[in-house]
Structure 1
Amino acid sequence: MSRNTFSPVVALCLAALTLEGYDLLMYGTVVPSLLAYEPWDLDPATVGVLGSVVGVGMLVGALAAGSIADRWGRRRALIAAVALFSAAMGCCAIAPSPEMFGAARFVVGVGAGVLMPTAASMLIEFSRLDTRARTVALGFVGTSVGGIAAGILSLWLVPAFGFRAMFAAGMIPALLILPMMIGYLPESPAFLNARGRTDAAQRISTRYGLEDTVEVSGGEPTSTDRGIGALFTANRARVTLSFWVMTLLCLLVLFGVATWLPAVMRSAGYPLGAALSFLLVLNVGGAVGALGGAYLADRFGIKPVTTLGFLCAAVSLALIATTPPIGIVYVLVLIAGMGTTGTQILLNTFIGSYYPVSCRTTGLGVALAVGRLGAIVGPTYGGLFVAAGAGTSTQLLAFALPAIIGAGVTILIPAGRQLRSGRASTSEGLHQVPEAK
């Protein structure tokens, strides 16, 4: 594997996103424990709302990510984001009331909302064009690794110590990761160039072999190349709106399923240990889908592979609703993970590769911010079905429908603007390649 494919930037983004993935995806493992926690006496609808507040925070953080990265630099934005959501996890572990718990979950979301688009922008900038999807996937597979870690730890911590121990465990790794980021994470050459520090930018570009991958902007970006307005200039409006809808639907399914899968399978008659193991398999599927999907995207184009990911999520959830044998359920949950978390990681590459460097973090941040509406709605959406007494099949089919719609929106993106990471980009930041078959 080349230096560009797995560099210190990829390693540190992988570590940060692993921590973030744990913090975000562990919530589903503690839902049964929260429902059984007598001092708070929570009902399913309230637990769903507590799961959704992290999405509200992520929306706020993602909207602010572009401005923060432009003002502070991507390096400091990443470090601050990890520090913020890690401290908030510690607050969750000691929260004396549901209200304080929910406030801390909101802050976790703010930090995560800043981290994701900033990390994606860094990974794209520090990648080669012919391995771009794989490089971004290597970093963002950390979200699935974090979810896998949450699933494994939950099998021990939740039955033995309850939900608080899971939150405390999410804070501890930051004590190692943050010093490494401070010591070894470089600044974005694009940010340094924008600040007139061209010598420093050139040194970093040379060290990481970026000369062949730096986008040529034709001079200092104008005001129309920055901010949300830039997402609708140069004929980008239709694709921008499509990205927003795709991200919203993908995150609705991802967070809804991750939050309610253990509880849904528990209500279907599976013991707690088996129900929690489904969440572990879901996150393994996310890692497999991210890496496998990225390899296919670099070879065949990212649009058809993203479409396939949405369809995998829809079909697998619909088939789980038919209550097949337990061995088949595990396979289908694995495929569901490939189609949810794996598809969202592909979307980060899809979106980031489309926009020029001058508005890339903004494009990713706003798309993820809109997507956070799905993350907000997803847990509450599932909670409403549980509270209404809907059967397991109805609950699963309710999440299959948005995935089908997401596949349709992806198909309708103009073929002439399909992206493929193996080709050079134009000044608009998109890859002009033939429609993948």
Structure 2
Amino acid sequence: MILRRLEALPVGRFHYKLLGVTGLGWLFDSMDTGLIAFILPVLAKEWQLAPGQMGLIGSMGLIGMALGAVVSGTLADYWGRKRIFTVTVLLYSVATGLCALAWDYTSLLVFRFLVGFGLGGELPVAVTLVTEYAPAKVRGRFIVLLESFWALGWIAAACIAYLLIPVYGWRFAFAIGALPALYVFLIRLHMPESVRYLLSKGKTEEANRIVSGLEAQMGLSGQSADTEPDTVPEAEPVSVLTLWRKPFLVRTIMLWLVWFGIIFSYYGIFMWLPSLVFKQGFTVVKTFEYVLVMTLAQLPGYFCAAWLVDRMGRKYTLSVFLLCSGIASYFFGHAATAAALMGWGAVMSFFNLGAWGVLYTYTPELYPTSIRALGSGWAAGVGRFGGMAAPVLVGMMLSGGMSIGSVFYMFAFVFIAVSAVVMGLGMESKQQNLESLSQHSRG
């Protein structure tokens, strides 16, 4: 069988190249998200923006991300992972460049929506593609490592903010964010279409050609005659309602709740992080330094999650990391000194981004090939509603005279609640075959 041959391929140059190519897309996405967080305090001062207006800039990108995730996830199950990935990367690159030309508050909101649409569409499609190529024994590690590129993007954004924004201004930072448009050529050269997707569409010859080529690259021979694709039947028409039928009902409820909670907390905290630190009395440049240190803590968080996810499992690793994120966010919001602020911020980054990596591993594993991108896109899209609400809600809380400590009480509660949801409703999926796992009778 073609899928058996695909799973039997040893982890090698192809898998790491695919990880690198999709990871670059992840890095660029993250860099854009980071840039707007660092630009907001500068922009607020230049344009005299109220906290509510600042929150709306962050939320507008999240509205675009929600729609982008849903639309792109749905289209990727019909038109292919590679094609949708390419289009979404191009869209958010061009739109980020347009942000550099924004002439007023309204035009910036429109461009941020377009950026979000492309960014939100790219992420679930990329993770679906890597999930469908990574062998079961290392799939969890690969997806968490893919997610680790997010930290590199934030580090790049912090460096741009620290080195360039004070000298050249915020428009120059957005202009740099347009450079990923050139990356589209790399995608077309080095990223194959998903074999599982091709088989689900009855394109057996193309799928066999890709697998045979990979076998030839790895010095394997004599297997190409085995082309029977009976483990992935041709896809039937599906809709979002499929996600709400057995055997997917409970897992859809679990994923939507967890995605909502983690995105609500992440964007509520990190979109406002430079501004919140600035509110504590630090200068803008000093803010960038502090946030850069806290962002660096994301990398060991990813690597720790990558090590645990194929050993302790998806369910337990995700639940523990979410719980620890809640504890750390509480102490971060109540830090009384600069050292405590930076220390608890680093701990919060460690566990929060590690949890993200596990969630991106977990989500596509719970759906079959015919609805994998659809399920992943809808989970991420629903989650973005949390991201839309959080920046505006934080702005309203601060405008209403509530303390930063009160804001972080809220985030700590949300993290702990979604940790309990994973423990109560989640199923374990480590090192299991995607085809048998997606039809698991529970949930």
Whether 1:74 aligns to 2:81 is yes
Q: 1:296 Cα deviation (Å)?
A: 0.1
Work out which of the residue numbers 102, 108, 118 in structure 2 matches 1:111. Answer: 118
Q: 1:324 Cα deviation (Å)?
A: 4.6
Provide the residue aligned with 1:34 in structure 2.
43
Please, which moves more after superposition, 202-211 or 347-356?
202-211
Contact 1:419 1:431 in 2 (8 A): no
Provide the residue aligned with 1:17 in structure 2.
26
Contact 2:199 2:233 in 1 (8 A): no
- Residue 412 of structure 1 aligns to a residue whose secondary structure is helix
Output aligned runs, 1:228-377, within 5 Å. 228-377=240-389
Provide the residue aligned with 1:3 in structure 2.
12
> C-alpha separation between the residues in 2 aligned to 1:129 and 1:206?
20
Q: 1:399 Cα deviation (Å)?
A: 1.9
> C-alpha separation between the residues in 2 aligned to 1:374 and 1:136?
23
- Residue 177 of structure 2 aligns to a residue whose secondary structure is helix
- Residue 244 of structure 1 aligns to a residue whose secondary structure is helix
Whether 1:219 aligns to 2:228 is no
> C-alpha separation between the residues in 1 aligned to 2:250 and 2:96?
38
AA paired with 1:108?
V
Q: Alpha carbon RMSD of aligned pairs, Å?
A: 2.4
> C-alpha separation between the residues in 1 aligned to 2:288 and 2:408?
17
Count of matched residue positions in the alignment of Structure 1 and Structure 2: 424
AA paired with 1:252?
F
From the superposition, tell whether residues 117 and 399 of structure 1 become closer, same or farther in structure 2 (CA, over 3 Å).
Answer: same
Contact 2:201 2:235 in 1 (8 A): no
Output aligned runs, 1:143-162, within 5 Å. 143-162=150-169
Q: 1:251 Cα deviation (Å)?
A: 0.4
Q: 1:432 Cα deviation (Å)?
A: 9.1
Provide the residue aligned with 1:200 in structure 2.
206
Q: 1:309 Cα deviation (Å)?
A: 1.4
> C-alpha separation between the residues in 2 aligned to 1:215 and 1:243?
30
> C-alpha separation between the residues in 2 aligned to 1:284 and 1:385?
29
Work out which of the residue numbers 125, 143, 146 in structure 2 matches 1:136. Answer: 143
- Residue 427 of structure 1 aligns to a residue whose secondary structure is helix
Contact 1:312 1:338 in 2 (8 A): no
Whether 1:61 aligns to 2:71 is no
Please, which moves more after superposition, 135-144 or 388-397?
388-397
Provide the residue aligned with 2:54 in structure 1.
47
Provide the residue aligned with 1:408 in structure 2.
420
> C-alpha separation between the residues in 1 aligned to 2:376 and 2:120?
11
TM-score scaled by structure 1? 0.91
Q: 1:355 Cα deviation (Å)?
A: 0.9
1:47-106, Cα deviation, whole Å (9 max, x unpaired): 100110001001111111233213331111111111000000011011111111010000
Provide the residue aligned with 1:174 in structure 2.
181
> C-alpha separation between the residues in 2 aligned to 1:250 and 1:139?
18
Provide the residue aligned with 1:88 in structure 2.
95
Provide the residue aligned with 1:190 in structure 2.
196
Contact 1:354 1:429 in 2 (8 A): yes
* Stretches of structure 1 lacking an aligned partner (at least 5 in a row): none
Q: 1:288 Cα deviation (Å)?
A: 2.5
- Residue 324 of structure 2 aligns to a residue whose secondary structure is helix
AA paired with 2:65?
M
> C-alpha separation between the residues in 1 aligned to 2:380 and 2:354?
15
Contact 2:76 2:374 in 1 (8 A): no
> C-alpha separation between the residues in 1 aligned to 2:294 and 2:171?
23
From the superposition, tell whether residues 4 and 311 of structure 1 become closer, same or farther in structure 2 (CA, over 3 Å).
Answer: farther
AA paired with 1:96?
W
> C-alpha separation between the residues in 2 aligned to 1:118 and 1:315?
32
AA paired with 1:198?
T
1:160-207, Cα deviation, whole Å (9 max, x unpaired): 2222122111112432x1211121111111232244331221122344
Q: What is the aligned-residue identity percentage? A: 25
Contact 1:255 1:379 in 2 (8 A): yes
> C-alpha separation between the residues in 2 aligned to 1:356 and 1:49?
36
AA paired with 1:292?
C
Contact 1:278 1:333 in 2 (8 A): no
